[in-house]
Amino acid sequence: MSLRFLAHCAACAVLLAACETSLRAQTAPAPTAYTITATNSMMVAGQVTKTYRLGSKALVDQSNAADPKAPHIRSLYDLAKHTNLTWSWPDFSGGCGTGAFSGDWGDPFVFSASLLDDLNKQNPKQVGTTTVLGFSAKVLEVSSPDGTMRVWVDTKYGLLLKAQSIPPNGAPRTIIEVTEMSFAPPPASVFAVPANCAAAAAAPLPPTEAERIAAETGDSADNYVNAIYGPGSKNSCAVILRVVRAGTMTPITNRLQVAIDTSYNVDNPPHYVYGMGTDGTQTFSGGGIHEITNQIHNGIVRLGIPPAYFMLDVNLMKPGTGASEALIYRQCFAPTTILLFVVKDADNPSAGGDFLWVKSGKYATLPR
């Protein structure tokens, strides 16, 4: 786990805010060659992250000091291509995973700088200077009713080197500590792809969500929002569901069933029971789910003004194939907003599809 764990801790917001005070103006540009090891005991005691970087290559090794025999999780990043390769070490039996990323990949310098920019809202007290791992550091403190946060910050690059939580009555607890920091270029061998990952590294990456949406709709992915992502919008709107084919975006108008549950409760989810007929028709029961198939006209169904989230089932009736079901989070971009169910393969409903809110563009209104 990298330094990003601090973002999940309210107390650490105070900690990191303390580290600013003109710090950015005094620090040098972050290096692009280094080896940094940090122990993070905020969420789980003894989580260790070792980060190697050499130009456009980075390797992040994660382990737990409390269990030296546990496998390490290693992620190799190509910062130029924005791709990553992940495997378990030294046990390679789980295979290798590939992916693409954008934005922050876990560089401790980038992460520290962004948090310090965001959290420069308090006035820390400098209580001294010291040397940590041979590097000059400022010692800063911020006090609150919950106690004191004491931090050590590298004066050259602005990297958080150590942080302690000091309760009003009790011993200090170190919640993060950099135990190794070197700016010598790591050997190129550190970034070598393991032999068992060679095939995965050479294989083409699956499309990103934006690429998939663009391919399905023939439109810019910026015009859509995935409907399964919450939270739902605070404002309400009328919703019209359209069921269309991926690629052509032509409506699917026959052998459709639609069911909805607008009383779904994420804190107490209902138990649904489904029945399947030999012709692919489906029955829906449980919770507040009910069929609205009789409201479908030319592949379009008006859902009224739904709540912030609701359960939706769309069934392309085919023997042996069930409905596509999703918890939909309402997003309103107009008084009447279009919700698309983009079916990947109408001849093979089991391939599923994407529920997409239309923000703008040619599908934002009903076709004439």
Note the pLDDT of residue 55: 95
Given 137, 172, 202, the domain boundary residue is 202
The 10 Å Cβ neighbour count of residue 69 is 5
How many Å is the Cα radius of gyration of the chain? 26
Look up the pTM and report it: 0.60
Report angle CA 118, 30, 104 to the nearest 5 degrees: 55
Domain that holds residue 11: 3-202
Residue 25 has pLDDT above 50, yes or no: no
Do residues 249 and 133 share a domain?
no
Note the pLDDT of residue 12: 45
Asked if residue 257 lies in contact with residue 323, where contact means CB atoms within 8 angstroms, the answer is yes
Please report, for the domain that includes residue 74, its CATH number: 2.50.20
Residue 20 domain-assigned (yes or no): yes
Say how far apart CA 47 and CA 144 lie, in whole Å: 27
The 10 Å Cβ neighbour count of residue 318 is 16
Residue 366 domain-assigned (yes or no): no
Residue 363 domain-assigned (yes or no): no
Residue 144 domain-assigned (yes or no): yes
Say how far apart CA 217 and CA 210 lie, in whole Å: 11
Do residues 227 and 334 share a domain?
yes
Do residues 233 and 353 share a domain?
yes
Question: Which tokens belong to 81?
Answer: 């291509």
Say how far apart CA 221 and CA 216 lie, in whole Å: 9
Residue 3 has pLDDT above 50, yes or no: no
Do residues 55 and 103 share a domain?
yes
The 10 Å Cβ neighbour count of residue 121 is 9
Do residues 14 and 119 share a domain?
yes
Do residues 236 and 156 share a domain?
no
Asked if residue 89 lies in contact with residue 74, where contact means CB atoms within 8 angstroms, the answer is yes
DSSP code of residue 95: -
Q: How far is CA 260 from CA 178, 286, 288, 307, 313, in A?
A: 52, 11, 8, 12, 6
In our burial notation (b when 16+ CB lie closer than 10 A, e otherwise), range 239-272 reads bbbbbbbbeebeebeeebbbbbbbebeeeeeeeb
Say how many domains are in the chain.
2
In our burial notation (b when 16+ CB lie closer than 10 A, e otherwise), range 343-353 reads bbebeebeeeb
Say how far apart CA 21 and CA 17 lie, in whole Å: 9
**pLDDT tens digits for range 101-117:** 878 898 988 877 665 55
Q: To the nearest 5 percent, what fractions of the chain are helix, strand and coil? A: 15, 40, 45
Q: How far is CA 287 from CA 186, 230, 327, in A?
A: 58, 21, 14
DSSP code string of 261-287: ETT--TTSPPPPEEEE-TTS-EEEEST
Do residues 20 and 162 share a domain?
yes
Given 146, 179, 202, the domain boundary residue is 202
Which segment of 15-19, 78-82, 171-175, 198-202 scores lowest on mean pLDDT? 15-19
Note the pLDDT of residue 293: 95
**pLDDT tens digits for range 184-240:** 999 999 999 888 888 888 888 778 889 899 999 999 999 999 999 999 999 999 999
Asked if residue 15 lies in contact with residue 142, where contact means CB atoms within 8 angstroms, the answer is yes
Do residues 187 and 247 share a domain?
no
Asked if residue 18 lies in contact with residue 39, where contact means CB atoms within 8 angstroms, the answer is no
Do residues 16 and 142 share a domain?
yes
Question: pLDDT-based confidence at 146, cuts 50/70/90?
Answer: confident
User: 3-state DSSP call for residue 125?
Assistant: strand
Note the pLDDT of residue 91: 77
Residue 129 domain-assigned (yes or no): yes
Asked if residue 180 lies in contact with residue 37, where contact means CB atoms within 8 angstroms, the answer is yes
**pLDDT tens digits for range 267-300:** 899 999 999 898 899 999 999 999 999 999 988 9
Question: pLDDT-based confidence at 8, cuts 50/70/90?
Answer: very low
Say how far apart CA 158 and CA 136 lie, in whole Å: 11
**pLDDT tens digits for range 27-74:** 789 999 999 999 988 777 889 999 999 999 999 999 988 887 888 999
Of 43 and 340, more confident:
340
Residue 343 domain-assigned (yes or no): yes
Say how far apart CA 138 and CA 157 lie, in whole Å: 12
Do residues 79 and 227 share a domain?
no
Residue 367 domain-assigned (yes or no): no
Of the chain, the percentage scoring pLDDT greater than 90 comes to 56
The 10 Å Cβ neighbour count of residue 109 is 21
Question: pLDDT-based confidence at 10, cuts 50/70/90?
Answer: very low
Residue 274 domain-assigned (yes or no): yes
Do residues 154 and 54 share a domain?
yes
Say how far apart CA 360 and CA 334 lie, in whole Å: 9
> Which of 364, 359, 94, 98 lies closest to 208 in space, CA to CA?
98
**pLDDT tens digits for range 114-145:** 655 544 566 778 899 999 999 999 998 888 88
Given 177, 202, 227, the domain boundary residue is 202
Do residues 107 and 8 share a domain?
yes
